[in-house]
Amino acid sequence: MFTLPQKDFRAPTTCLGPTCMQDLGSSHGEDLEGECSRKLDQKLPELRGGIINLGTSENKLCFDLLSWRLSQRDMQRVEPSLLQYADWRGHLFLREEVAKFLSFYCKSPVPLRPENVVVLNGGASLFSALATVLCEAGEAFLIPTPYYGAITQHVCLYGNIRLAYVYLDSEVTGLDTRPFQLTVEKLEMALREAHSEGVKVKGLILISPQNPLGDVYSPEELQEYLVFAKRHRLHVIVDEVYMLSVFEKSVGYRSVLSLERLPDPQRTHVMWATSKDFGMSGLRFGTLYTENQDVATAVASLCRYHGLSGLVQYQMAQLLRDRDWINQVYLPENHARLKAAHTYVSEELRALGIPFLSRGAGFFIWVDLRKYLPKGTFEEEMLLWRRFLDNKVLLSFGKAFECKEPGWFRFVFSDQVHRLCLGMQRVQQVLAGKSQVAEDPRPSQSQEPSDQRR
């Protein structure tokens, strides 16, 4: 059994401000406002001149846990086989651990098989490789919008593959509907429109939990989307990179690999990576699970450009097999910290009277700032984004996610307390019309809109 390290990894007493105290329970309660003030005072000298990044979707809450685990002796191993060429799909010992890991956490009805696993250096490489393998140049994937905008670059990089947008909107039309809800009717409409423009659609991309909405598709919805894809002989890429970052227990997340029977298993391809769920976006580890051996072999042929070193593969296998540490230490603590940070930012938004969508999954809140755009244009959205940046807080604007409604912004909350506090102060100043010109405009000039999409 795993033994806790000497450092106390209890849930942090962050605040986060008086408005979130009731949601965090008595163990987080009495001195949260003071905690925020003290940490902000301590960090002000280093933060005053810098940009607070609430735009990049990274989990910065659990470095202490991860650095401890990755520095343990069982992670430090060097042997000849780890320094030599390996199977391009990844070392067998790693693919076996990935299959066991996904079988357990995706709750697959039968054990997943290592021969269906390919490992690459991150989700971006997976998107690029899959698009190149599944499509010819100029062909397209359907993708619901708003979506993680960097996918546009990923799928275009090698094969010049396009995206055909399934536009969703915030209108709620009935008791059983929600904002930005994906339906089969909208998929059919987008497919017909693409065909009318002479675009050949080869697949559908689904992200669950969704980025930037945080939506979690129900098993019934997943089944409907997969049946639609089978009817039109479309491949489906399911990106589940946030599957272990569902921090609200009431959210009933289900992996597509948990379904009893996939409508078209040969055309269903599932992605996962450690960048989000384990806060390791710099380590670059991603994995594909597909029952289509032709696809697996073709993707593996590109791993000569996107492979992982043997030493990293060994570390990943050690991490994924340590179920005791993951279940007893990392996931409970990570979820507690995510929930505390989410509670703070959402309560701050409520105090400002700002509507938002949040589903209890991922690292972000989809925020409705349309009332600050008098004419409701994307030009105004960009100007507001620039005002935030001039006031030294970086957010992601809706156009970067191909949202068709101007005025939506993504706020990332998975950061340390002092940065969240100062970032939300700056947001409030901008929205109250009290923003100041940045002391040094050069950082804002170096930030291009395309950088928002991560």
- Give the three-state DSSP class for 325: helix
Of 315, 262, 252, 257, the closest CA to residue 284 belongs to: 315
Q: How far is CA 200 from CA 187, 191, 294, in A?
A: 15, 9, 21
pTM metric for this prediction: 0.87
For the record, the structure tokens of 242 come out as 């946030």
Are the CB atoms for 414 and 60 separated by under 8 Å? yes
**Per-residue pLDDT for 350 more than 70?**
yes
> Measured between alpha carbons, how far is 435 from 392 in angstroms, rounded to an integer?
10
Q: What is the pLDDT of residue 41?
A: 53
- Give the three-state DSSP class for 137: coil
Q: What is the mean pLDDT of residues 8-33?
A: 35
- Give the three-state DSSP class for 156: helix
Q: Which of 271, 302, 322 is the last residue of a domain?
A: 322
**Per-residue pLDDT for 449 more than 60?**
no
Task: For CA atoms 397, 403, 405, 411, give the dihedral sign.
Answer: negative
Q: What is the pLDDT of residue 358?
A: 84
Are the CB atoms for 132 and 303 separated by under 8 Å? no
- According to the 3-state scheme, what is the secondary structure of 290-342? ECCHHHHHHHHHCHHHHCCCHHHHHHHHHHHHCHHHHHHHHHHHHHHHHHHHH
Structural domain harbouring 254: 84-322
12 lies in a domain?
Answer: no
Q: What's the number of domains the chain is made of?
A: 2
Q: What is the mean pLDDT of residues 255-280?
A: 97
Per residue in 163-184, pLDDT tens?
999 999 999 988 889 999 999 9
Beta strands (DSSP E) in 231-308 are: 235-239, 268-273, 286-290
206 and 294 belong to one structural domain: yes
| Least confident stretch, 15-19, 111-115, 235-239 | 15-19
287 and 348 belong to one structural domain: no
Q: Can you state the angle between helices 310-321 and 63-70, rounded to 10 degrees?
A: 110
72 lies in a domain?
Answer: no
What is the number of other CB atoms lying within 10 angstroms of the CB of residue 391?
Answer: 20
CATH code, domain with 28 = 3.90.1150.10
**Per-residue pLDDT for 7 more than 90?**
no
Are the CB atoms for 151 and 173 separated by under 8 Å? no
Q: What is the mean pLDDT of residues 200-205?
A: 98
Per residue in 283-311, pLDDT tens?
999 999 999 999 999 999 999 999 999 99
Q: What is the mean pLDDT of residues 256-276?
A: 97
77 lies in a domain?
Answer: no
What is the maximum alpha-carbon separation in the chain? 65
What is the number of other CB atoms lying within 10 angstroms of the CB of residue 223?
Answer: 17
Q: What is the pLDDT of residue 169?
A: 96
Per residue in 34-82, pLDDT tens?
455 555 555 554 455 689 999 999 999 999 999 999 999 999 999 999 9
Per residue in 366-425, pLDDT tens?
999 999 999 999 999 999 999 999 999 999 999 999 999 999 999 999 999 999 999 999
Side chain identity at 141, as an amino acid letter? F
Q: What is the pLDDT of residue 454?
A: 61
293 and 363 belong to one structural domain: no
**Per-residue pLDDT for 13 more than 80?**
no
33 and 101 belong to one structural domain: no
